[in-house]
Amino acid sequence: MPTPYTFSQRAEKITSSTIREILKVTERPEIISFAGGLPAPVGFPLRDMNAAFDRVLGQNGRTALQYGPTEGYTPLREWVASDMQRRGAGQVGTEEVLIVSGSQQALDLLGKLFIDPGSNVLVEAPSYLGALQSFSLYEPNYVTVPTDEGGLIPAGLTDERVRDARFIYALPNFQNPTGRTLTLERRQALVQRCAEAGVPVVEDDPYGDLRYAGEALPSLLALGRQAGATVVRLGSFSKVLAPGLRLGYIVAPAPIISKLVQIKQATDLHTSTLTQMAVYETIKDGFLDEHLPAVREIYRKQCGYMLEAMQAHFPSTASWTQPEGGMFIWVTLPQHIDAHELLARAVAQNVAFVPGAPFFADEARHNTLRLSFVTVPEARIREGIAILGRLIAESHATT
Ligand SMILES: Cc1ncc(COP(=O)(O)O)c(CN[C@@H](CCCC(=O)O)C(=O)O)c1O
């Protein structure tokens, strides 16, 4: 009996997002989930968003419910352009801004734009698994850039590695999954090397505004433009407002934006007009400057609860990162412990996290895992980490 349908080879090869699959399990209320990078709901500006949607629908409803330009709602694009200028990127025109349906869509559009089967794409080891999932649809040849506790090592961008690379995918602030932040020196070395080698830099920075320790550093966009590098910067409203809005943006040279617009036309015509107008209505008068300090304080406290609990309950053979911002702590266990096996035992005790292997484009390090600390209340963080610490110690005993 022939199968009633034939998937494309591309579709046959795609795999699920480990985060999405684990999130299905973590919907059970008894589960203490350190898995998804889900922003703390208490930080969602419900009242302000409600008022903004009311104003948009009340005052401009017919425009808000109509098709709109693929490039995005012009006032929002202008807001993004001026925000980039405010952050030191120099002159940014609205023709260099494309509004997208979350930075996850930006990753897909960039994959379509830059990747042919077998193209070389430079990624960190480890890197955001959602980007690897998007890019993999276009069948790249991943070239991994070495990292250390300071993140991406620019000296690792050897001639061999950068040759024919279509772009490098970099996360300079509070990297997903490690939580690491690239130093100013490494940022400068990275963009300088990419300018010389003619390798475009894709800077993915959804967490940059969620800094709660250390000093803010210039973006790769700002430094790259000074160095003469081609930089494509991805931003998102998911972490500064709410992820359910599915709203982000791409800032890039106009010729790249023009091509991305053509690809987006074929993808979804445009991002929700209503959402763009309501978000613009919310942020246009400086709302984020008032809103973000409270969100940062929530994240700082949550991060502190988890680091304290790990210090108290994790065996000394485990090591972990200490982020200056963002949502994630990266744990390295003794070599013999497989985080996938550990996850099965953890879920049996109602604790979830994301094993590290899916974050590697090359040889996975199975003794790693990612913990997100932003969504779980303090007491449950301490309870869940204590359980995890016991399970890790038991792994010692049984191996
Ligand atoms: C580096 C990086 N780039 C893009 C995204 C996607 O963010 P958007 O909401 O699409 O703007 C994310 C969001 N990643 C979260 C959320 C994924 C949530 C999910 O799959 O349900 C995570 O790693 O858990 C990210 O960390």
pLDDT band of 165, cuts 50, 70, 90: very high
Q: Which of 23, 182, 203, 236 to mutate to test the pocket of ligand 1 (most atoms within 8 A of CB)?
A: 236
Rounded to an integer, what distance in angstroms lies between the CA atom of residue 229 and that of residue 13?
Answer: 33
CA of 130 from ligand 1 middle (Å) equals 7
Average pLDDT, the chain: 96
How do residues 245-282 score in pLDDT, each as one tens digit? Answer: 999 999 999 999 999 999 999 999 999 999 999 999 99
* Angle at which helices 103-114 and 254-268 cross, to 10°: 110
Nearest-atom index, ligand 1, CA of 177: 23
Q: What is the pLDDT of residue 261?
A: 98
Task: Please state the rounded mean pLDDT for residues 152-173.
Answer: 97
pLDDT mean over 358-370: 94
| Residues 370-392: tens digit of each pLDDT | 999 999 999 999 999 999 999 99
Among 17, 199, 221, residue whose Cα is nearest residue 120? 199
Share of the chain above pLDDT 90, in %: 90
Q: Which atom of ligand 1 has the smallest separation from the CA of 243?
A: 9
Say how far apart CA 323 and CA 36 lie, in whole Å. 17
**Distance from the CA of 104 to the center of ligand 1, in angstroms?**
7
Please report which confidence band the pLDDT of residue 169 belongs to, taking 50, 70 and 90 as the band edges: very high
Q: Quick one: how far is CA 305 from the chain centroid?
A: 23
Q: How many residues does the chain have?
A: 399
| Residue 383, H or E segment | helix 378-398
Q: How far apart are CA 228 and CA 231, in angstroms?
A: 9
Residue pair 97/80 in contact (Cβ under 8 Å)? The answer is: yes
C-alpha–C-alpha distance, residues 347 and 327, integer Å:
21
Q: Is the pLDDT of residue 29 over 90?
A: no
Distance between terminal CA atoms of the chain? Answer: 48
Q: Name the CA radius of gyration of the chain, rounded.
A: 21
167 pLDDT above the threshold of 90: yes
Confidence check: pLDDT of 193 > 60 = yes
Lowest-confidence pick of 6-20, 108-122, 140-154, 156-170:
6-20
Is residue 117 within 8 Å of residue 139, measured between CB atoms? Answer: yes
Closest residue (by CA) to atom 16 of ligand 1?
A: 37
The answer, yes or no, to whether residue 396 has pLDDT greater than 80, is no
Ligand 1 centroid vs 106 CA: distance in angstroms? 11
d(CA 155, CA 193): 9
Q: Confidence class of residue 397 from pLDDT cuts 50, 70 and 90?
A: low
CA 235 to chain centre: 9
What DSSP string runs through 188-240? HHHHHHHHHHT--EEEE-TTTT-B-SS-----HHHHHHHHT--EEEEEESTTT
pLDDT at 358: 95
| pLDDT reading at 353 higher than 80 | yes
Distance separating alpha carbons of residues 85 and 88, to the nearest angstrom: 5
Residue 17 CA: distances (Å) to CA of 20, 46, 114, 134, 274: 5, 29, 22, 10, 28
| Residue nearest ligand 1's atom 13 by CA | 37
Complex confidence, ipTM: 0.98
Provide φ and ψ at 120, rounded to 5°. Answer: -80, 130
**Which residues, in sequence order, are CB contacts of 131 under 8 Å at separation 6+?**
107, 123, 169, 204
User: If DSSP codes are grouped into helix, strand and coil, which group holds residue 105?
Assistant: helix
- List ligand 1's pocket residues with C-beta within 6 A: 17, 19-20, 23, 36-37, 102-104, 128, 130, 171, 176, 204, 206, 236, 238, 243, 248
The number of the ligand 1 atom at minimal distance from the alpha carbon of 17 is: 20
Q: How confident is the model at residue 1 (pLDDT cuts 50, 70, 90)?
A: confident
Q: Looking at beta carbons, which pairs linking 79-84 to residues 24 or more positions away fall under 8 Å?
A: 79/280, 79/283, 79/284, 80/235, 80/249, 80/251, 81/251, 84/221, 84/233, 84/251
DSSP string for residues in 344-371: HHHHHTTEE-EESGGG-SSS--TTEEEE
Query: How large is the average pLDDT for residues 36-56?
Result: 95
Rounded to the nearest 10 degrees, the angle between the axes of helix 220-227 and helix 184-197 is: 50
Q: Whose CA is nearest to atom 15 of ligand 1?
A: 37
pLDDT band of 13, cuts 50, 70, 90 = confident
Predicted structure pTM score: 0.96
* Collapsed DSSP state (helix, strand, coil) of residue 38: coil
Q: How far, in Å, from the CA of 234 to the mean position of ligand 1?
A: 12
Per-residue pLDDT tens for 77-122?
999 999 999 999 999 999 999 999 999 999 999 999 999 999 999 9
Region 284-293 average pLDDT: 96
Q: Rounded to the nearest whole angstrom, what is the distance from the C-alpha of residue 177 to the centroid of ligand 1?
A: 10
> 325: which DSSP letter?
B
Q: What integer is the mean pLDDT of 343-358?
A: 96
Using a pLDDT cut of 70, give the percent of the chain over it: 99
> How many other C-beta atoms can be found within 10 angstroms of the C-beta atom of residue 143?
20
Pairing of strands 120-124, 165-170: parallel
Q: What Å distances lie between residue 96 and 111, 173, 232, CA to CA?
A: 18, 22, 10
pLDDT value of position 17: 85
Distance (Å) from CA 2 to ligand 1 centroid:
38
Give the pLDDT confidence score for residue 66 in this predicted structure.
98
Q: In angstroms, rounded to a whole number, what is the distance separating the alpha carbons of residues 92 and 254?
A: 10
| 194, amino acid identity | C
pLDDT for the residue 27? 81
Band of residue 18 on the pLDDT scale cut at 50, 70, 90: confident
Rounded to the nearest angstrom, the distance between the alpha carbon of 171 and the centre of ligand 1 is 12
CB 71 within 8 A of CB 256: no
Q: What are the tens digits of pLDDT across the range 308-350?
A: 999 999 999 999 999 999 999 999 999 999 999 999 999 999 9
Which pLDDT score is estimated for 55? Answer: 98
Residue position matching structure tokens 């795609």: 14
Q: Report the separation in Å between the CA atom of 17 and the middle of ligand 1, taken as the mean of its atom positions.
A: 11
- 15, 17, 18, 19, best to mutate for ligand 1 pocket (most atoms within 8 Å of CB): 19
Q: Band of the pLDDT at 63, cuts 50, 70, 90?
A: very high
> Is the pLDDT confidence value at 162 over 70?
yes
